[in-house]
Amino acid sequence: MTRVKFGTSAAVLAFLAAASPAFAASDVCKGSDINILMETVPDTEALQAIKGDFEKQFGAKVNIEAVNYSLMHEKLVPSLTAPTSSYDVLVVDSYWVGEFKTAGWIRDLDAWIARDKIDTSLYFPALMALNGTVQGKTYMLPFWQYAMGILYRKDIVEDPTFQAAYKEQFKRDWRIPATLEEFAEVVKWSGKQKDMYGIAMAAQRADPVVMEATNYLFAEGGDFYDRKTWKPTMDTPEAAKAVTIYADLINSAAQPGALGANFDDVANTLKQGKAIFAISYLFLFPTLEDPKDSTVVGKMAFAPVPGKDSFLGAWGWAVPTNAKNPDCSWEFLKWVESKDVAYKRALAGGQPTQMWIYEDADFIKKWPAMSQVGNALAHSKGLPIMSRSTQLVETFAEVMGSVLANNVPPATALADSQDKFGRLVKGDPLLK
């Protein structure tokens, strides 16, 4: 597998190195090391480029350890269960939130927020609910959203020849698919029409297939649970239809090796001009628009997932309970989420969480696809905030593996998972 290399233009790097925001240096950080474990995504590169500003202002050293997502959880847990954490600032994935809160690994930030008059209304409410507050208390500041939707070749679908063939086939003018079923029909037809892969997919177990397939589940109006009673709902017709459509596209329209692919492979398939559609992450756009290794610069567009809802994930900044210098950790959170720094990260290809940035003309001019974020967030939801959310991901991955690798009928695999999903919520203090 080839790793995606996210590029940062010389102009952006120059901007990031420009004058620092005006903050009074705090003695609380002098001589400290701030260690952070982060994923290899554009926002991490952006932060690497400007962390020197914090170091100069606060007299601290910021050390960023960037790793593949699959390694992060297993590296964090031993640190969080030790007497003192190896990491001074945490980035918490949305589906770790319940686990980290229940385990007591992240600090309540409300006293600091009140003292320093931090305005959390700047953030999208959906992101504060996902990676900000838990049971009425603030444990994180949202830092990175990974909205998902349709990534598609606009140069192909807007071509008059393609649209004429589409109209002949479907007896209607071209349109972005309105339902998941329509999307699947168009994907399969367009791949054959253009002699390309209709869709790039990421069905690697566990996180890639779960993140991707959850879009199909939510699009059909399905869910893992009734979120009022917490009764499992994996045996519904909506869930069966969603998984059936997903499996059909894997088998009939996706690139070879999709069963072992992750989002890097989706990005590479699109960059090489081999696929027309994907249901994937908006944060892939910086690499799709990088002329150094992409053949589709200026040819890609983004649209919301067709149907009812899509999957929303996010990350939040947090201070570990066992941080060696929690006051310094908080100073870093304030700095990194200050308007100036958040804007610099956004221009460099990050996925900002503060609403005002999406109203900035220069930001939208640089990243036009970001104009769709508000619409995507309005019709999206995350995984349930529950103590065993990591086990939820593993359980759904088992279901998808049974269907995709072992050819178990979707309705059977889903019905067989009901008891497992039921056990995951039993006695959960976050669901009372």
Helix (H, G, I), strand (E, B) or coil at 213: helix
The pLDDT value given to residue 378: 78
CB crowding 410-431: b at 16 or more within 10 Å, else e: bbebbbebeebbeebbeebebb
pLDDT in tens, 347-391: 998 899 999 999 999 999 999 988 888 878 878 899 999 999 999
Q: How many CB atoms lie within 10 A of CB 10?
A: 7
The pLDDT value given to residue 43: 87
The pLDDT value given to residue 13: 42
Q: What is the CA radius of gyration of the chain?
A: 22
The answer to whether the CB of 194 falls within 8 A of the CB of 158 is: no
> Distance of CA 65 to CAs 72, 90, 336, Å?
10, 11, 16
In sequence order, what DSSP letters do the residues of 66-114 get, joined into one string?
A: EE-HHHHHHHHHHHHTSSS-S-SBEEEEGGGHHHHHHHT-B---HHHHH
Query: How far apart (Å, rounded) are the C-alpha atoms in residues 385 and 134?
Result: 8
The pLDDT value given to residue 9: 42
The pLDDT value given to residue 26: 64
Cα 424 to the center of its chain, rounded Å: 23
Q: How many CB atoms lie within 10 A of CB 299?
A: 17
Tell how strand 300-303 and strand 141-153 pair up: antiparallel
* C-alpha angle 179-269-261 in degrees, rounded to nearest 5: 80
E strand intervals along 106-178: 133-134, 137-138, 141-153
pLDDT in tens, 191-244: 999 999 999 999 999 899 999 999 999 999 999 999 999 999 999 999 999 999
Query: If you search the block for the tokens 């640190």, which residue do you land on?
Result: 79
Domains in the chain: ranges and CATH: 33-146+313-381 (3.40.190.10), 147-310+388-425 (3.40.190.10)
Please name every residue paired with 144 in a beta bridge, in sequence order, or none if there are none: 315
229: exposed, middle or buried (Cβ count in 10 Å: 0-12, 13-18, 19+): exposed
Query: How far apart (Å, rounded) are the C-alpha atoms in residues 316 and 91?
Result: 5
- Spans of the chain, pLDDT less than 70: 1-26
The pLDDT value given to residue 428: 95
Quick one: tokens of 166? 């589409």
Quick one: tokens of 333? 């959170």
What's the start-to-end Cα distance of the chain, in Å? 43
